[in-house]
Amino acid sequence: MISLNRLGQEDTEFLVDNSSVKSVRSQDVIDLADRSGSTHLSALTVASQALVQTLPQANCSVCVCVPVRDEAATLEQTLIALLNQTDLSGKALEPTSYEVILLANNCSDQSAAIAKQFSAQYPSFILHVVERVLPAVEAHIGRVRQLLMDEAYQRLRSLDRPQGIIASTDGDSQVSPTWIAATRWEIEQGVDAVGGRIITDRPSRHALEAHTRRCFLQEVGYRSLIAELESYLDPDPHDPFPRHYQHYGASLAVTAETYAQAGGLPPVRTAEDEAFYQALLRVNARFRHSPLVQVTTSARQTGRSPVGLANQLNVWANQGSQPFWVEPAGAIATRFQARCRLRQLWQRLLNGHQLLQPEVAPLAHTLGIDATWLMLELTERHTLGSLLAQVEQRQHTEGHWRRRWALVDIKQAIGALRHFLEPLRQGQP
């Protein structure tokens, strides 16, 4: 099975190209993390010196994090996009309302020099350029993004802004003009974190070899249809359709308060953004996959992450004409329906319902997990998010789900997903 990784969403092309689709105070950090029940908040960073010595502007409410390693070819465009931010009506944002922290780590090119020159050219643009040569054990995207987001948290905390926004993008990506404003708007609607829609630029996408491009578009279509099916079968009031499926570092934002509640960015090499998303779910954070928040990135086949888009494109390029195997639509629909029932049961328990084995056993059977184990978890889990995470892990451990649902060719899965969705789109049960 090919892993389903961090791929851009090309809605327009997917729809028109059906022939190919048929895809700083350390104690403050500790105090807030302790009050929220978090077990840690990047302890290594808490104990270290701040990355930026300059104090944040008094009205700063958004801190943008940009990890950079040898991005000289794209970095200026990344910074131009961040410079030219507007509100939703097209008016330029107040320059002091947000800041950008760029961490150039272990660079062998002119990335840091380009960033410093850009800062000098646009003095009203608040850009903090930090250079670091990290030891080999820390010279990976997980640690670098953690350093940046922890720093952003500390700076917003120093301004007493629990609803201040920590936003992340990448040095090879260009955010849309309303990226900050749309993120703010979504959080003002009552969510805690936002994943932006990540689109690959057309020239690099069309430069892909035909089989690789076809697999890419199939992946986008498959994941997009899953997101739509989820909105019908297990709806989230904070993440309604239209929505997408991405929650990756190129466009990821969270309030400072929720960042602490989730324990900060997990200390993993990669995929650090996916690990953070799971941490947010475990604390019941309200997450929005917003189509209004958009970023463009390159479909390049040279990358540094072993689970990134570049790596997946290379996998497809090297597999020849082998089928692209994925989970079938029936398994996906069954999971969403069972998860919805589990949410309903959880809510009844919160309202004082006495749990009975006969009502748990059928649900456990559907999920492919032990009923006695599920009974115990339902009485012991502290959040619904942590319960759902434990159920998913148990499915993997017991293996019944995997044996029950054999993988299928992605073309078959896409057709079946469309079949599932047709009556739901028409309002039929």
The CA distance from 116 to 132, in Å, is: 14
The H or E element spanning position 155 is helix 141-158
**pLDDT beyond 90 at 316:** no
**pLDDT beyond 70 at 41:** no
The average confidence (pLDDT) of the chain is 87
Q: CB under 8 Å, gap of 24 or more: what pairs does 394-398 form?
A: 394/369, 394/370, 395/367, 395/368, 395/369, 398/368, 398/369, 398/370
Q: Would you state the pLDDT for residue 1?
A: 36
Is 104 inside any structural domain?
yes
Please state the rounded mean pLDDT for residues 363-392.
92
Please state the rounded mean pLDDT for residues 322-350.
94
Helix 329-350 with 410-425: angle, nearest 10 deg: 50
Is 422 inside any structural domain?
no
Q: Would you state the pLDDT for residue 118?
A: 98
Final residue belonging to a domain, choices 256, 284, 318? 318
Q: Would you state the pLDDT for residue 270?
A: 83
Please state the rounded mean pLDDT for residues 268-285.
94
Q: Which residue has the tokens 């892993």?
A: 3
Helices (H), 103-172: 111-121, 141-158
Q: What is the pLDDT of residues 196-241, one digit of tens each?
A: 999 988 887 887 888 888 888 999 999 999 999 999 999 999 999 9
Q: Structure tokens of 41?
A: 């908040």
Is 410 inside any structural domain?
no
Q: What is the CATH number of the domain that holds 190?
A: 3.90.550.10
Pair (300, 333) in one structural domain: no
Final residue belonging to a domain, choices 299, 318, 337? 318
Bond into 271 cis (ω within 30)? yes
The CA distance from 29 to 264, in Å, is: 10
Q: What is the pLDDT of residues 92-149, one digit of tens each?
A: 999 999 999 999 999 999 999 999 999 999 999 999 999 999 999 999 999 999 999 9
Pair (70, 205) in one structural domain: yes
* Confidence at 17, pLDDT banded by 50, 70, 90: very low
For 121, left (φ over 0), alpha (ψ -120 to 50), or beta? Answer: alpha
Is 198 inside any structural domain?
yes
More confident residue, 198 or 45: 198
Number of domains in the chain: 2
Is 415 inside any structural domain?
no
What predicted TM-score, i.e. pTM, was given to this entire model? 0.87
Final residue belonging to a domain, choices 286, 318, 350? 318
Pair (339, 285) in one structural domain: no
Q: Please, what's the largest Cα pairwise distance for the chain?
A: 69
Pair (293, 372) in one structural domain: no
The CA distance from 251 to 179, in Å, is: 9
The CA distance from 87 to 292, in Å, is: 12
Is 424 inside any structural domain?
no
| Per-residue CA distances from 386 to 182, 264, 364, 395 (Å) | 29, 16, 17, 14
Q: Would you state the pLDDT for residue 224?
A: 97
Which residues have C-beta within 8 Å of that of residue 26, sequence separation ≥ 6? 46, 47, 154
| Number of alpha carbons in the 13 Å side-chain half-sphere of residue 266 | 14
Pair (296, 377) in one structural domain: no
Q: Would you state the pLDDT for residue 278?
A: 95
Range of the domain at 373: 329-405
Please state the rounded mean pLDDT for residues 28-34.
35
